[in-house]
Amino acid sequence: MKFVCTKETILTEIIYAMNFTSQKNALSITSNVFFQTKGSSLSIKATDTKVGFSTEISVDVLEEGKALVSCTKLLEILRTLPDGNVTFTSSNGTFAIKPEAQGIDFKLRTITSDEFPALERGDDLTYFTVEQKAFTEMIDQTHFAAAEDDSRQFLNGVFLERSKTGMTMVATDGRRLSIVERSFEDEIDDFQAIIIPTKFLIELRRLASGEGTLRLSITDKLLFSIVGNRVFYTTLIKGDYPNYRRVIPESQRYQATMRIQDMLDALKRVSLLVENKARRVYLDISEAGALLTSDENESGEAKEIIACQYEGPESRISLNYTYLMTPLKVMDGEYFTLNFTEPTRALTVVPDGERDYLHLIMPMQQNP
């Protein structure tokens, strides 16, 4: 195999491919990236057996063939090369990398490409189209609330289901919940509710430009997506997702409205003196304002009061400050409302205006 292309052209694709390989074991065949030249194009494939990535780019093919190369080493080399054309040659168990008109010559060992696992194929599936911007916004508003390394594997993913006018996306770790109910003008195929691995959605978010559309196809076990000339898929998480609507309060008695940036700035400062593993802060809400306080510890104590529009009894809420900070960072508008009935029961965080998402936070027990 032999082909020529610019460093920039292939580097972009190898950066994407890297996150679909298995890097826990450098000797694993799935830590490699698969190349195949044919006609005037180069096919690039990567998989860790649970997720897969493939794309085609135009190159100057001098000799057709296949190669399997370490993705990590190739990426490291490409990043150090000067801009311009690079000749890639695979023969006799080596993969040579030689920039044009440069005294640079790399050779990587290869392994038999026939051993590379076959990627799942989505060629014959039916796809529906959604706006990239709308779908990536749904990911932004939910993925951070999913559990990490939870024994209940279904909580490690993001729940997606068809709604009457579009799709609903939900994530929860049992202590917080984020939900988006988005309407779409384009026709969306009916599908059974699925649980998508969070890592895959983060990669999709990174791959998408936010402009134009992306295509999705959902099967019993797999989710395929096509963005431009890139195709990628993931194995879905099995399990029954909890009935999330049961924990969302139908109505709440009190509402405290604050500026998003005021709260973010205050959380950032007060958290500097939060040393407990639970990341606890106290939020005292009254008609005079909202007072944020850290637990007193060896380093000291932090307090800050911000303006708050509120009518009701003075209330003290104890919560993990990251559970409030994270959704506020991706929230639209200038103001948000913290809704509650009792300080020890579920809080909902809602942006101002007619938005289609909300965040729910379970308060922490207060220290005696």
pLDDT, tens digit, for every residue of 126-176? 999 999 999 999 999 999 999 987 678 889 999 999 998 899 999 999 999
pLDDT surpasses 60 at 190: yes
- Look at the domain 128-244 and name its fold: DNA Polymerase III; Chain A, domain 2 (3.10.150)
Both tokens assigned to 360: 């729910």
Assess contact for 346 and 362: CB atoms under 8 A: yes
Q: Which residues contact 296 (CB under 8 A, 6 or more apart)?
A: none
Assess contact for 188 and 162: CB atoms under 8 A: yes
For residue 152, the model assigns a pLDDT of 83
pLDDT surpasses 90 at 319: yes
Q: Give Cα 253 to chain centroid, integer Å.
A: 34
C-alpha 104/C-alpha 61 separation (Å) is 21
Both tokens assigned to 53: 């990535």
pLDDT digit string (tens) for 233-286? 999 999 999 999 999 999 999 999 999 999 999 999 999 999 878 899 999 999
Q: Which whole number is the average pLDDT over 1-7?
A: 97
Assess contact for 347 and 341: CB atoms under 8 A: no
Place of tokens 């076959």: 118
CATH number for 249-361: choose from 3.10.150.10, 2.40.50.140, 3.20.80.10, 3.40.50.300: 3.10.150.10
For residue 27, the model assigns a pLDDT of 60
- Look at the domain 2-115 and name its fold: DNA Polymerase III; Chain A, domain 2 (3.10.150)
pLDDT band at 25 (very low <50, low <70, confident <90, very high): low
C-alpha 86/C-alpha 81 separation (Å) is 9
Q: Identify the H or E element spanning 69.
A: strand 65-70
* Residues 27, 33, 34, 39, Cα dihedral to 10°: -150
For residue 211, the model assigns a pLDDT of 86
Helices within the chain (DSSP H only): 7-18, 71-80, 132-140, 198-207, 260-270, 321-329
Place of tokens 């044009």: 100
Produce one character per residue of 129-154: b if its CB has 16 or more CB atoms within 10 Å, e if not. Answer: bbbbebbbbbbbbbbbbbbeeeeeeb
The number of helix segments (H) and strand segments (E) in the chain equals: 6, 26
Q: What is the DSSP string of 41-66?
A: EEEEEEE-SSEEEEEEEE-EEEE-EE
Q: Which residues contact 315 (CB under 8 A, 6 or more apart)?
A: 254, 284, 285, 286, 340, 343
Assess contact for 44 and 3: CB atoms under 8 A: no
φ, ψ dihedrals at 228, nearest 5° = 65, -125
For residue 26, the model assigns a pLDDT of 59
pLDDT band at 297 (very low <50, low <70, confident <90, very high): confident
Share of the chain above pLDDT 90, in %: 82
Closest CA to 191 of 223, 145, 239, 229: 223
Both tokens assigned to 191: 């599908």
Q: When comparing pLDDT for 299 and 225, which is higher? A: 225
Name the segment(s) of the chain with CATH classification 3.10.150.10: 2-115, 128-244, 249-361
pLDDT band at 207 (very low <50, low <70, confident <90, very high): confident
Q: Is 209 exposed, middle or buried (0-12, 13-18, 19+ CB in 10 A)?
A: exposed
Which pairs from 327-331 meet CB under 8 Å and 24+ separation? 327/141, 327/144, 327/145, 327/178, 327/359, 328/260, 328/263, 328/264, 328/267, 329/264, 330/140, 330/141, 331/260
